[in-house]
A and B are shown apart, each in its own frame.
Chain A
Amino acid sequence: MARRSGTRQLADLFAVKEMVVVCGSGGTGKTTVAASIGAQVASEMGGRVLVLTVDPARRLAVALGLGELGIESAGHVPVQVPQEAFAAVGHPCRGELWVAMLDTKAGWDDLIRRHAPDSATRDRILANGLYRNITGRFVNSHDYLAMEQLHDLHASGQYDMVVIDTPPSRNALDLLDAPGRMREFFGSRLLKWLTVPFRSRLFTVASKPFYQVADRVLGAQFLRDIGEFFALFQTMEDGFVQRASEVERLLTDEGTTFVVVTTLETAPAREARYLAEALRARRMPLGALVLNRVLPAEIRQVGVSAAASRLHDMTVSPSNESLQRVAAAAGLPPDDAARVLAEVADRFRETSVAAANEAERRRELEALVPLVVAIPMQPTDVHDLAGLLTIGRSLTGQI
């Protein structure tokens, strides 16, 4: 059961923030939580809310209107979830809910177009054979691009709140560190080395061993091709560096909050702890921890395990009078009722162990983060607006 005070505080938090960054490891339900926050805020608090999502499940995407345009073609053009959709589930929307997908495929092309100093340079890079191969196969620009898109949407001033569902990074911190590392790369000695022609007069003693190794390992032609590529790249330095700094400032801004989503299983919980600590170290404001798919709190109440034992005892003999009364009320033969109820009682033990493990991990996490809110495990997956609003309401305490 969500603590009343926790959910109240979460509602207050969302009332004042302009940017909510939702992070957490894979499989914790981040996308659903991000969409739920957006839906709930738009619906109950009003204002124009944008949810920037990464990889919504097909059914959810269709439900939100991303499917109509085709998931691939939606790009990052925001689409409004129709007001009728809210009315149809009995919760008219006070504000507006817009959804956009992070455009992860066009990644580098977009960055190049944005930052190239002139159209000639832009065209040379985009046409460069090495560029196609590199960006197509290896370069993971998702993290940095997510941050840039977030910055642009915020800067447009068109939204009262932007909620971003973060991309599945190898390491959640890759996302937060992306702007800083982009800046570092441009200032790095390595970039300078990569762009100095092999036999140039600028060739220094320090860089010589690097070139010797690179030459033998990669071959001189490749080195030249790479050098040319990075030389083009370097012309975009100012644009990249300035934007990267702006994005970094946005992440530590007062109007930004981070929400970490986790389930109470060992690995995600560990990742959540790591994330919480990392955010603190980077002075990025951790607003709340959301525990997803939590087993009903009532399972852990005093007397429940004892009740399961009594249930088990009742099923041992079909002539048991209590059993017979229950079977009669259900319209079932006593031995059938006994068999099914025995299963219920015996399996409860497993659920009990799982709930105990969860409770322990929850205690550890609550010690780290002051604001913790739990979303109960649902009988089915969430794949429409009604489901999102159910989750959203349990987050902000409005049931």
Chain B
Amino acid sequence: MTGAALSGLAHPLLAEQLKQQDKQVLFVWIDGGMSQFESWDPKPNTQFGGPFRATSTSLPDVQISELMPRTAQQMHHLALVRSMHTQDNSHSAGVPRILRGDPKNRGVTYPYFGSAVAKLMGPGESKLPPYVWIKPGSGGFKHDAAGFLGPKFGALAFGDGQPPDNLLQPEELSGDEVELRQRIREFANSQFASGRRPANTEASSYVFDMASRLMARQDLFDATQLNPRDVQRYGEHEFGRHMLLGRRMLEAGVRFVQVTSYGWDTHGDNFNGHARLMPRFDQAFAAMIEDLSDRGMLEHVLVVCLSEFGRTPRINGHVGRDHWPESWSLAMAGTGIKRGIVEGRTNALGTAVESEEYDIGHMFHTWFQALGVDSTHIEYDNAGQPLPIAHDEHSPVSALLA
């Protein structure tokens, strides 16, 4: 397996180096489009500012929405980017474009950021699945995320934060019996793989390998092991539970943890919507940042929080905001990232970026650099086709890098 992984990069020795690093990623995906006005870039008392106030933060002269009082106290850990300008205002195309870093079209499907990190950096010492996705709704193995890397680098999704079905090992099986069954499976797989494309057979074997690793860590899903105080701090709602599980995954050494929240596409009743959505996000996100900091984990965990776009300044007749890739915000923290900064700005009304605009390709470069991956030199080797790991016309944002 190691040999197959190494062959996917143009510089195998470098690949080995990356795999030995202990860097991890927490990727918080707010699906639908969080409004930057009601979160990171408020414009109170302006034509498009909406009804809410802004609140001071732990960063002097920096304010965010009043709907995020707890995150406001963690701002000194965060790097906020207010000058995102991306290309797609639709969900269906926009979501994968953002998640894949919107690279140049070379006729291949690029991997999601999580799959890229799983490929470039491997599972780490824990050997747990390198890319897990904690999400509402369905779970399972999401191989599409891997693009041309091959299905093996897809995301293992825990639907509703639950472990995969049948994770529990039957009690009636002894350890020797389990080991024997594994050897039989591996033999059968090697026979099947002979003469077949490795990418597909590897994925099948990989899933079983990951399952066996997870079976040894069923405690991660055991709610009785949770500290009641943590449950209260993160919130007993869906996002709180999922973020707490995400923290446990990081503590267990999972390389890339994605936590998704759905329901943010507030074309109607945007303000009452964010009035209920934001406090729950705020509660769990702030608790996570606080905990990662307290545990010293911000030294090696990269935290990213974003949506596929922001929301329009213009308020429609359903008192909602529509899709807005023109000027929106995202936040990050942790390893390789400067702390307590705001990069970029919008104009007074929030209708345009006033400073240098950043596309998602800039962010991919920045995140790779923060993880110790030289995005400007490392390439994928897609069956002999060298491919940059991030948009080759973009570059890291040095102002964000520590």
Query: Do these two chains interact?
Result: no
Which residues of B approach A to under 8 Å, CB–CB? none
Which residues of A approach B to under 8 Å, CB–CB? none
